[in-house]
Amino acid sequence: MSPNKLFGTNGIRGIVNKELTPEMAIKVGLSIGTFFGKKKNLLVGHDARTSGSMFARAVISGLTAAGCNVLFAGMAPTPALQFAVKNHQMDGGVIITASHNPPEYNGIKAIWNDGVEVSHEQETEIEKIYFENNFHFAEWKQLGSVQELPGVNDEYVEAIKKHVDVAKIAAKKFHVVVDAANSVGGLTAPILMRQLGCKITSLNANIDGTFPGRLPEPRPENLKELASTVKAVGADLGVAFDGDADRSIFVDETGQIQMGDKTFAVIAKQFLLKNPNSKIVTPVSSSTLIKDIAEAYKGEIVWTKVGSVTVSQKMKEVKAKLGGEENGGVFYGPHQAVRDGAMTTALLLDIMADTGETLSKLVAEQPQYFIEKGKVDCPDEKKQKLLEKLLEEHRGMNVNTLDGAKIWFDDKSAILLRPSGTEPTFRMYAEAKTQQRAVKLIEEYTTKLNTLLGTI
């Protein structure tokens, strides 16, 4: 964490008792409490990390010292807590989670009254209070109260069911393998799917904050056991959640891992068939696949900068009902405009029941793209100049400059070049209709970026 910066792309994150300590959590609680104002009602909950309870209590101490009343929901997926903030008409909330980071990390994020994370501008206000020690300390008679709020996980499961055809899914008797990463996804997803009439095989279902089963990021290298289990038991679907269960990655019935851009496109297509002329919000890092789907099924893509909060905020702004990211985050507005792993799973089961198709078939009928990634070293102070030079070179071409430069070529290939927010590098995401072309794009732009850097 830099000296006057607390929040990163997704809230405050750090290694427990090294970068993020209980003392800091009390101060963060005081800052968030001061930001919301006395007598405001805030929900607090945490994921399954070993430090979850410790940080929740420290944050609650700060919030109540600032005069805010706390409803404590305990352990729950991030989307269940976000839903509870809205459902219980709270003024906001605080979630203790480090999402997909390894077990030694934890984090804190502030939630607005609609369940969406506070904006980056609001985070800056909270940071200002924190670094200037400008806390509101309530008088002893004005301290906030703390009450338990049981049942948020059950309410969340009930709410999701309202958005799918429960009877139609149940009639299919799907067999689903659920990999909950030993975290909070296991508190809701298996229950939801059982209520949808599915047969469940569970992996890493017991809560264990050391995450003994696998690392909580649902990347292919962490999902080998899920893929082989789906095949071994002959399941219709496999699903893996990240540490706080807002993202989900799926495995089809053949045991193939289908990355987030593909399943998002499956959901977007069905959504557009039912809701033509709708807007779909997605960051510029998403595959051209989503653009193809939007063009084919009468949708409009609204591109954003990379980051889930940006997608949520943009969905609110343009009144879009669907958003998605390539990392397995799908935002279903009719439920809530935030990433939601269990909602995404229910939507996919609904589509499989409705179309009678397997996931492998649903993915295979989409346009296919090959994706390659790369990076080039670039000192922080040269990033802006390099971006300017790049844009100069591509003047007159089809370039999106929302976040770095995304360049589309005539053969339907594209490359996104963006300065990393955390490392002295420029990141590259290429995609093309052939693997060879994607590889070539990365090679070509590695040379180009290095040549341009040499002139700065």
**Which residues have a catalytic role annotated?**
99
| Nearest approach, Cβ of residue 354 and Mg ion (Å) | 28
Q: How far is CA 384 from CA 33, 191, 391, 417, 425, in A?
A: 36, 49, 11, 12, 12
Interface segment toward Mg ion; rule CB under 5 A; list 91-99, 177-185, 222-230, 258-266 = 91-99
Distance, CA of 233 to CA of 252 (rounded, Å): 13
Interface segment toward Mg ion; rule CB under 5 A; list 63-71, 135-143, 155-163, 243-251 = 243-251
Here the tokens at position 365 are 């009928």
| Nearest approach, Cβ of residue 244 and Mg ion (Å) | 4
Interface segment toward Mg ion; rule CB under 5 A; list 61-69, 224-232, 234-242, 298-306 = 234-242
The answer to the question of residue 217 lying near Mg ion (CB under 5 A) is no
The answer to the question of residue 127 lying near Mg ion (CB under 5 A) is no
- Is residue 197 within 8 A of residue 171, CB to CB? The reply is yes
Residue from 244, 253, 350, 431 that binds Mg ion (CB under 5 A)? Answer: 244
- Is residue 7 within 8 A of residue 100, CB to CB? The reply is no
Nearest to 13 by CA among 385, 392, 328, 422: 422
The answer to the question of residue 179 lying near Mg ion (CB under 5 A) is no
Q: How far is CA 104 from CA 145, 186, 239, 392, 420, in A?
A: 31, 20, 24, 44, 23
| Nearest approach, Cβ of residue 99 and Mg ion (Å) | 3
Determine the size of the site formed for Mg ion (CB under 5 A). 4
The answer to the question of residue 34 lying near Mg ion (CB under 5 A) is no
Q: Which is nearer to Mg ion, 98 or 449 (CB)?
A: 98
Here the tokens at position 318 are 């343009």
- Is residue 259 within 8 A of residue 369, CB to CB? The reply is no
Left (φ > 0), alpha (ψ -120 to 50) or beta: where does 39 sit? Answer: left
| Nearest approach, Cβ of residue 338 and Mg ion (Å) | 10
CA atoms within 13 A on the CB side of 274: 12
In the stretch 94-113, what mask flags binding to Mg ion with x, by CB under 5 A?
-----x--------------
Nearest to 83 by CA among 41, 111, 64, 119: 111
The answer to the question of residue 47 lying near Mg ion (CB under 5 A) is no
Here the tokens at position 453 are 């850097």
Q: Which is nearer to Mg ion, 218 or 299 (CB)?
A: 218
The answer to the question of residue 69 lying near Mg ion (CB under 5 A) is no
Interface segment toward Mg ion; rule CB under 5 A; list 17-25, 93-101, 118-126, 233-241 = 93-101
Residue from 47, 127, 217, 242 that binds Mg ion (CB under 5 A)? Answer: 242
Rounded to 5 degrees, φ, ψ at 204 are: 50, 45
Residue from 246, 253, 261, 431 that binds Mg ion (CB under 5 A)? Answer: 246
Q: Residue 331: beta bridge partners?
A: 323, 339
Interface segment toward Mg ion; rule CB under 5 A; list 129-137, 236-244, 420-428, 433-441 = 236-244
Here the tokens at position 401 are 């400059």
| Nearest approach, Cβ of residue 329 and Mg ion (Å) | 8
Positions that interact with Mg ion (CB under 5 A)? 99, 242, 244, 246
